[in-house]
Amino acid sequence: MPTTSRDTQPNVIIQPHSSAGASIHIIDSATVSSRSPLSPSHPALRKLATMELSDVFRIVNLVVAAITVVGGIAQIFDLELKTIVVGTYMVVFGLSVALLEFQIPPLMSGYASILSSFIARGAVYIFVGSLLLGALTIQNIAGAIVGIIGVGYVALEFIPSIEPPSNMREADAAGWGAEEV
C-alpha cells in the first residue's frame, strides 16, 4: 500500500465511468483541504452520512411497526376481550408508527411529539414490547424484539454524535403547541 511522506493512509476513490470500467484515485488526506468535497469534514459528506443513518432509523421503525402489527394480530387470536382490545391497539399503534415514518400530519406533530426523541421513543417501544408479550411464541418474539429496539433507542439518547432522523427533528421542531394556548 502506498504511503505518504507524513505516514498517513491515503484515501482511495473509485469513480465509475459510463463504460464498463472505473478509475481509481489514491489521494493523500493531508493534501485535501476541509473545503474539498473529498474531505471527511466536508458538509456534503456529513449530510450523506446522516442521510444513511436516517434511512437506517426509518427501516428500524418500519420493522417495529410491522412487528407490532403482527404481534397485535396474534393477540387478537387469544379470543379474550382483554387481548382483543390490546391487540387492536397494537395494530393501530403499529400502523401509526409506519405512517409517521413517511409523513407527519400537522395535527399529529402536537400529539405524537413523544416519538420525537430517542429516549421517549425508546420508552414507548419498551412499553409496547411488554404489551406484546403473551401466551404464543410469536407474541414473545415480537415483544422481545420491540423491547430490545426500545432499549437501543434509550441508549442512543446518551450518544451525542448520533443525531435523530429528520422525521423526529421535524416533529420536535413543531413542538407541543403550547405557544398557541
Domain ranges for the chain, please list them: 1-32, 43-175
Let me know: does 83 contact 75? Beta carbons within 8 Å.
Answer: yes
The mean pLDDT of 19-46, rounded to a whole number, is 51
Q: What is the pLDDT of residue 109?
A: 64
The mean pLDDT of 128-153, rounded to a whole number, is 94
Q: What is the pLDDT of residue 39?
A: 56
Let me know: does 15 contact 22? Beta carbons within 8 Å.
Answer: yes
How far is the C-alpha of 105 from the C-alpha of 82, rounded, in Å?
Answer: 31
Let me know: does 33 contact 39? Beta carbons within 8 Å.
Answer: yes
Grid cell 423491547 is found at 147
Q: Indicate whether 132 pLDDT > 50.
A: yes
Q: Indicate whether 151 pLDDT > 70.
A: yes
Q: What is the pLDDT of residue 41?
A: 62
How far is the C-alpha of 99 from the C-alpha of 171, rounded, in Å?
Answer: 13
Q: What is the pLDDT of residue 18?
A: 45
Mean of all residue pLDDT scores within the chain: 75
Q: Indicate whether 105 pLDDT > 60.
A: yes
Q: What is the pLDDT of residue 73?
A: 94
How far is the C-alpha of 44 from the C-alpha of 131, rounded, in Å?
Answer: 42
Q: Indicate whether 71 pLDDT > 90.
A: yes
Let me know: does 77 contact 143? Beta carbons within 8 Å.
Answer: no
Q: Which residues contact 154 (CB under 8 A, 6 or more apart)?
A: 118, 119, 122, 123, 126
Smallest CA-to-CA distance from 115 within 168, 67, 63 is with 168
With a pLDDT cut of 70, the percent of the chain lying above it is 60
Q: What is the pLDDT of residue 4?
A: 45
Helix (H, G, I), strand (E, B) or coil at 25: strand
**What secondary structure letter does DSSP report for 165?**
P
- pLDDT band with cut points at 50, 70 and 90 for residue 82: very high
Q: Residue 173, Cα to own-chain centre: how many angstroms?
A: 17
